[in-house]
Structure 1
């Protein structure tokens, strides 16, 4: 346990949507929380910044004891872009490992399961916060070239891969991360997207009766962009920091915006029938264990 923070410092930094995107989705969701949801979220996260909590699954997935969580970050559609895109849950979500669709459903249930200890429910809340970002990232719904990880491109003169372009580089350039610190850039972007949601988007309706069906639909929506734009043309070796970037920005905004709006409605629905008093009573009875502190790193 003492070595874990040191180990985290040396882990790979490739994150879905990058840290900026995940922070923005979490902040955007929090702007639509009810006061009740805000209180319960803060309780289960022990007051941790919600955008920091959303980074937890990426921070721990390369630790050997958490290796089983790696497949939860994506669903590998075995389709044929750019000619044909589409997700088949029985084909693309391995029963043995799970995928982002099954992970959203599973951890949604665990957050509201009062038979679980609070630290496990808090950990599952962190997974939910994170996986809503993942399921809305087009290349986290695609098997081609390992979701673009093996697709060599250039971005603003820097050699990289297509997955990193969509995870991090487009969002960072668009949201002005070079001029602000990460949390501030994410908060400002979330405020902008929230204003757009308030102006022209109806309240998101959530199909909580079948979380897997909901998540599958969102994954299919993101996957459609793989054919319509992400791999619509051969971009091998091209610099994507110009015209391609300009065309990608509206897609990034659309997906981050939807992820945050949907996540806000989702967490509100989870906590609607959960009492803060009951959680506080459970906390009094719980015995601290080392596992309780891993989730806050």
Structure 2
């Protein structure tokens, strides 16, 4: 599996930040609500007591630092498909030589579970794992078209922006009634509690192989690119009205699935006594 990846073509990679900080915080908090007591102890130990929603932001904060430039490609997988007519992911075609979000999930999940790896490296990989479980559930992090929507000029409630930012930040922020200057942690915690309270499903998710599961989740997110995200021409349109209303259930569903699936994998890890051994 991947460990350190060479710095190649970093300047050509999309400048993207999946779900924005509010979405990533919400996913982390939702996962924590599903944690077993062992998972709570395990994550608190590896994160040195850091708030789990803050840990979720680490990969975005460091991705442009020279020493972490190798991680830039891990935030996405660029499906070379043809939305809205055809969507689909092919690992051989779409996962870069530097890696992608699917291979990164497989890599860091294995590292978190490895009791022979020092705590520092397991904690760092836990931060990547938490973040990438969020990234893989954002539809435009699974799509190459117009650099994942970064080059699609739109507006949102009268403000000029791009389609990627609409899905990363503007839809989640509006849905959670969060405005910059408000308490972001409280907004994320409130959203996570609502998702937890409204979700009666079990944590019986894809658990066999992290790479296969990551590909399954990426394909699920990518399908929304054809069925909704780019189903109609949105160039130069204001997406703060009916488009927003149709997108909200998708965002709510995918954030909820990301948090629930993250918890399922961490709970499964901590069910193993060996994984709880921390050097």
| TM-score in terms of structure 1 length | 0.86
After TM superposition, list the pairs within 5 Å mapping 1:90-239 onto structure 2.
90-94=92-96, 96-178=97-179, 180-198=182-200, 201=201, 203-239=202-238
- Pick from 20, 38, 41 the counterpart of residue 39 of structure 1: 41
Larger Rg, first or second structure (1 or 2): 1
**SS of the residue aligned with 1:103?**
helix
After TM superposition, list the pairs within 5 Å mapping 1:267-286 onto structure 2.
267-274=266-273, 278-279=277-278, 282=279
Change (3 A) 1:277 1:156: closer
Partner Cα separation in structure 2 for residue 236 and residue 183 of structure 1: 33
Render the CA deviation track for 1:196-235: whole Å, top value 9, x for unaligned: 113xx2x122443311101100000000000000000101
Change (3 A) 1:137 1:276: closer
**SS of the residue aligned with 1:127?**
helix
Render the CA deviation track for 1:103-122: whole Å, top value 9, x for unaligned: 00000000011221110000
Render the CA deviation track for 1:72-99: whole Å, top value 9, x for unaligned: 00000000000000001111112x2110
Which segments of 5 or more consecutive residues in structure 1 lack a partner in the other structure?
1-12, 283-297
Which segments of 5 or more consecutive residues in structure 2 lack a partner in the other structure?
1-14
Q: Hey, what does 2:6 align to over in structure 1? A: none
Aligned 8 A contact 1:112 1:274 in 2 = no
Partner Cα separation in structure 1 for residue 50 and residue 252 of structure 2: 26
CA RMSD across the alignment: 1.6
**SS of the residue aligned with 1:24?**
helix
**SS of the residue aligned with 2:147?**
helix
Aligned 8 A contact 2:115 2:274 in 1 = no
| TM-score in terms of structure 2 length | 0.92
Change (3 A) 1:276 1:137: closer
How many Å apart are 1:276 and its aligned residue? 8.4
Change (3 A) 1:209 1:19: same
Q: How many pairs align?
A: 265
Q: Hey, what does 1:7 align to over in structure 2? A: none
Aligned 8 A contact 1:108 1:270 in 2 = no
How many Å apart are 1:277 and its aligned residue? 7.2
- Pick from 18, 21, 37 the counterpart of residue 19 of structure 1: 21
How many Å apart are 1:180 and its aligned residue? 3.7
Task: Indicate the larger mover: 227-236 or 203-212.
Answer: 203-212
Partner Cα separation in structure 1 for residue 109 and residue 56 of structure 2: 14
**SS of the residue aligned with 2:93?**
helix
Q: Hey, what does 1:245 align to over in structure 2? A: 244
Partner Cα separation in structure 2 for residue 86 and residue 55 of structure 1: 28
Change (3 A) 1:45 1:274: farther
